[in-house]
A and B are shown apart, each in its own frame.
Chain A
């Protein structure tokens, strides 16, 4: 009996203790051991992260997850997606349920510091806007005094909304929902006059309306929303991988390397920047614990930043966003790939 008790006690101790050990283990090694990346994604935002009719995840953020899987395993399917609401996402990341979040998360100082998170890169510069029913005849967000506003809970959106109305000395009635889809449904049913989220989100949520043309997006952008991937604080190597994945995709666009010509340029290009990017020169992959072909694989299998943008959310896609702030710095935008050298 006594022996049995000791065994049980030991098992329990191990269980409690191991949770600590596991969290400190290197993320990259864990992913390799597991054989796939686990990516925290949106619960369903057209163009950014949404499962299609066959259950395959598609979208801008989803392709970043696939690109990361390619960088590690050279396989865009070595990734599983866990849809997370705005409210649950950081807890899931902190608890180690996902390796990385790619779901329109705004980088802020308090999240970066007190939540134990890191924002290694910004893959979409955004700002918060409002959508209203065209029949209201509202043309500016400053006319929204007294309006009911539907908003998703647990977002910077909720805070910006309060700031905006306070700053302009206007009244409003917030109606908050845990899931974005609930907030949009409530807005469409007439519960609220306006729906607010990041401008990119408005463009994609508008597609949910029976007739998207009935809804107008107001011109005011009321906040700065630098959106990007999120990782746990403390594993610097893993943060490096995510950061340089984004820069590699930006550099590829800057140098004109696309999924179509990556192989050809790798074989023929004499440009030192391209040779370093495609793994012909240097050992940049090794520096972050990956294969030296990592960025070549990403670009040939997924594409550069511009390709991913255009395919999922660009002007040719149903979401129809212009590059705007997300143009390369050479075109007057903010996307500036740091040199791979």
Chain B
């Protein structure tokens, strides 16, 4: 190789060397981008100063002075800062995204598989769901759920009692809240032990099946351990003379149902809207993934004596996952980002709280928008990091 270069013809001018030219233009591009960024920043700073608009991130430590209805950390208008409001909004966004992703995945897989079903009605219902939902704007669907469906529920004073302690009204769902006393930690420990033990059992059962072919009822055992152990702990604690868990049941107050915990209609509308909308896209991703697995695989599985359900679970889905996961990741990211439409139905998510109220009260648009963008970027990058990790694990290992 080296000798070929040595015998190269007389050296041409550097201008005609593609490598030099490549470096030159890349260098120019980098300089240009850097210079533009510098100009934009200094210009913005200069303009803000000229217009006497406050800048900097000091506002995050100032008292907020407004209230938010759904908070997962201690938050009050009196004692909390704009920084706390950011955290409240972020947690609300993460909650909607997490629950939405789980629900959308369940709906999507069910609909995607149903669309390929031999059962005519099931397949058509799934097709109709996908075609209707994914062709309507999401904002419209959110407004539909919030304004057309949930706001037709009865007023808080005529709340429907679904079960003792469970009330459904236009203010959302009020349900009993569990109040734990100090010893309840034992129940939590029992739950943790249940999970660890069942994971160990699963490993053992898999190894045994691989070695001997004998099967073990893993699912039932795991369920028994994870649910049974905490229940057992609770029983023992109760029998030993105490009430580790009491329930705070909602009461009819003058205006609202007070006490208990509450699922706000804004939250329900947002989760439903996002899950149903994204589920339709996931259904198509799943269908494409399944169709990508060659028919021979199904036939081979059948000839080995696997039932249709087993064929799906052990042969088709694992292979389809390789096709499904990358676009599925995009759908998860879309769902998370779309949760910012919460602003239209009054759910206090990151955009509503931070880009809405905080931006307006402080007027520091540049900082607030920058923080919000950074937060969404981080959420999305973390999501794709984990999904990529999962993707690598299930990817076909080739030589």
Q: Could you list which residues of chain A lie within 8 angstroms of chain B, going by C-beta atoms?
A: 5, 9, 12-13, 16-17, 19-20, 23-24, 86-87, 90-91, 94, 110-111, 113-116, 136, 143-148, 153-155, 158-159, 161-163, 165-166, 172-178, 182-183, 185-186, 189-191, 193, 232-234
CB distance from B331 to the nearest CB of A (A): 26
**Which of A16, A182, A185, A191 has its CB near the most chain B CB atoms (within 10 A)?**
A191
Q: Which residues of chain B have C-beta atoms less than 8 A from A144's C-beta? A: 255
**B288 sits at the interface (CB 8 A):** no
| Contact across chains for A146 and B255 when beta carbons are under 8 A apart | yes
B357: which of A145, A176, A182, A193 is its contact (CB, 8 Å)?
A176
Q: Is B209 an interface residue (CB 8 A)?
A: no
Chain B 134-167: CB-based contact to A (< 8 A → 1; otherwise 0)? 0000000000000100010001100000000000
Alpha-carbon distance A24/B48, docked complex (angstroms): 12
What separation, in Å, do the CA atoms of A213 and B351 have in the docked complex? Answer: 36
- Contact in complex: B50, A114 (CB < 8 Å): no
Residues in chain A near residue B245, CB distance under 8 A: none
Q: How far is the CA of A5 from the CA of B35 in the complex (A)?
A: 14
Give the docked Cα–Cα distance between A173 and B359 (Å). 22
B28 in contact with A5 (CB, 8 Å):
yes
Q: With a CB–CB cut-off of 8 A, which chain B residues contact A153? A: 352, 356-357, 360
For chain B, give the interface size range.
Answer: 35 or more
What residues of B have a CB within 8 angstroms of the CB of A173 in the complex? Answer: 69, 256
Question: B343 near A: Cβ within 8 Å?
Answer: yes
> Which residues of B come within 8 Å of A, CB atoms?
28, 32, 35-36, 39-40, 43, 46-48, 50-54, 65-69, 77-78, 147, 151, 155-156, 170-171, 253-256, 258, 265-266, 343-346, 348, 352, 356-357, 359-363, 365
Quick one: given A154-B356, A162-B67, are A16 and B36 in contact (CB under 8 Å)?
A: yes
- Quick check: B343 and A13 within 8 Å, CB to CB? no
CB within 8 Å for A233 and B356 given contacts A115-B363, A176-B346, A189-B151 = no
Residue from A146, A154, A193 in contact with B258 in the complex, judged by beta carbons closer than 8 Å: A146
List residues of chain A with CB within 8 A of the CB of B266.
175
Residues in A neighbouring B155, C-beta threshold 8 A: 190
Q: List 13 A-B contacts (CB under 8 A).
A: A5-B28, A17-B39, A24-B50, A115-B53, A146-B256, A153-B356, A153-B360, A159-B66, A182-B344, A189-B151, A190-B155, A191-B170, A234-B51
Query: Which residues of B have CB within 8 Å of A155?
Result: 360
Q: Which of B39, B40, B65, B357 contacts A163 (CB 8 A)?
A: B65
Given contacts A20-B46, A162-B65, A178-B352, contact A114 B360 (CB under 8 A): no
Set of chain A residues within 8 Å of B147, measured between Cβ atoms:
185, 189
Which of B151, B346, B359 has most A Cβ within 10 Å?
B346
Question: Which residue of the partner chain, among A19, A86, A148, A233, contacts B171 with CB atoms under 8 Å?
Answer: A148
Q: Which of A5, A111, A153 has the most CB of B within 10 A?
A: A153
**A145's closest neighbor in chain B, by CB?**
B254
Q: Which residue of A lies closest to B266 (CB)?
A: A175
Of the candidates B47, B48, B67, B359, the one whose C-beta lies within 8 Å of that of A174 is: B67
Residues of chain A contacted by B256 (CB below 8 angstroms): 146-148, 173, 193
Is the pair A162, B66 in contact by a Cβ cutoff of 8 Å?
yes
The minimal Cβ–Cβ distance linking A273 to chain B, given in whole angstroms, is 36
A111 partner residues in chain B, CB cutoff 8 A: 363
A87 touches B170 (CB 8 A): no
Query: In the assembly, what is the distance between CA of A327 and CA of B43, in Å?
Result: 46
Known: A90-B363, A191-B265. A20 touches B47 (CB 8 A): yes
Interface pair B40/A16, CB less than 8 Å apart: yes
Alpha-carbon separation in the docked complex, A256 to B39 (Å): 56
Whether B356 and A178, one on each chain, are in contact in the complex, defined by CB atoms closer than 8 angstroms, is: yes
| Residue among B77, B170, B346, B360 making CB contact with A162, cutoff 8 Å | B77
A165 to B48, CA, bound (A): 36
CB distance from A125 to the nearest CB of B (A): 22
The 5 A-B residue pairs with the shortest CB-CB distance, nearest first, are A154-B360, A162-B77, A115-B363, A116-B53, A114-B54
Contact of B346 among A23, A94, A175 (CB under 8 A): A175
Docked-complex contact A147 and B356, CB < 8 angstroms: no
* CB closest chain-A residue, reference B40: A16
Give which listed residue, B255, B345, B363, contacts A193 with CB less than 8 A: B255
> Least Cβ distance of B158 to chain A in Å?
10
A148 to B258 CA separation, bound complex (whole angstroms)? 11
In the assembled complex, the Cα of A16 lies from the Cα of B45 at a distance in Å of 12
Q: Beyond the given A94-B363, A176-B348, A178-B343, could you list 9 further A-B residue pairs with CB under 8 A, ordered by the A residue number?
A: A12-B39, A16-B43, A23-B51, A148-B256, A159-B66, A162-B77, A174-B69, A176-B68, A176-B357
CA distance A232 to B52 in the complex (A): 10
Residues of B within 8 A of A193 (CB): 255-256
Partner of A87, one of B344, B356, B362: B356
Establish whether residues B78 and A166, one from each chain, have CB atoms under 8 Å apart when the complex forms: yes
Closest A-chain residue to B36, C-beta based? A12
Q: Residues of B contacting A148 with CB < 8 Å?
A: 171, 255-256
Q: Give the nearest-CB partner of B65 in chain A.
A: A159
A325 to chain B, nearest CB (A): 25
**For the complex, what is the distance from the CA of A233 to the CA of B360, rounded to whole Å?**
17
Q: Which residues of B sit under 8 angstroms from A116, Cβ to Cβ?
A: 48, 51-53, 363
**B171 → A minimal CB distance (Å):** 6
- The complex places the Cα of A20 from the Cα of B352 at a distance, in Å, of 30
> Please, which residues of chain B bring their CB within 8 A of the CB of A16?
36, 39-40, 43
In chain B, what residue has the closest Cβ to A143? B254
With a cutoff of 8 Å between Cβ atoms, the chain B residues found around residue A178 in the complex are 343-344, 352, 356
Check if B352 sits within 8 Å of A234, measured CB to CB.
no
Query: Taking the nearest CB of chain A, how far is it from the CB of B29, in angstroms?
Result: 10
CB distance from B351 to the nearest CB of A (A): 10
Q: Report A235 CB to chain B, min CB distance, Å.
A: 10
B343 contacts across to A, CB distance below 8 A: 178
User: Which of A90, A174, A183 interacts with B360 by CB under 8 Å?
Assistant: A90
Distance in angstroms from B187 CB to nearest chain A CB is 31
Give, as a whole number of angstroms, the nearest-CB distance from A145 to chain B: 8
CA distance A23 to B28 in the complex (A): 31
Collect the chain A residues with CB atoms within 8 Å of residue B51's CB: 23, 94, 116, 232-234
Chain B: minimal CB distance from A166 (Å): 6
Q: How far is the CB of A114 from chain B (nearest CB, A)?
A: 4
Q: Which residues of B contact A114 (CB under 8 A)?
A: 53-54, 362-363
CB distance from B313 to the nearest CB of A (A): 44
B65: A residues at CB distance < 8 A? 159, 162-163
| Complex CA–CA separation, A233 to B53 (angstroms) | 9
Best-surrounded residue of B39, B78, B356 (most CB of chain A within 10 A)? B356
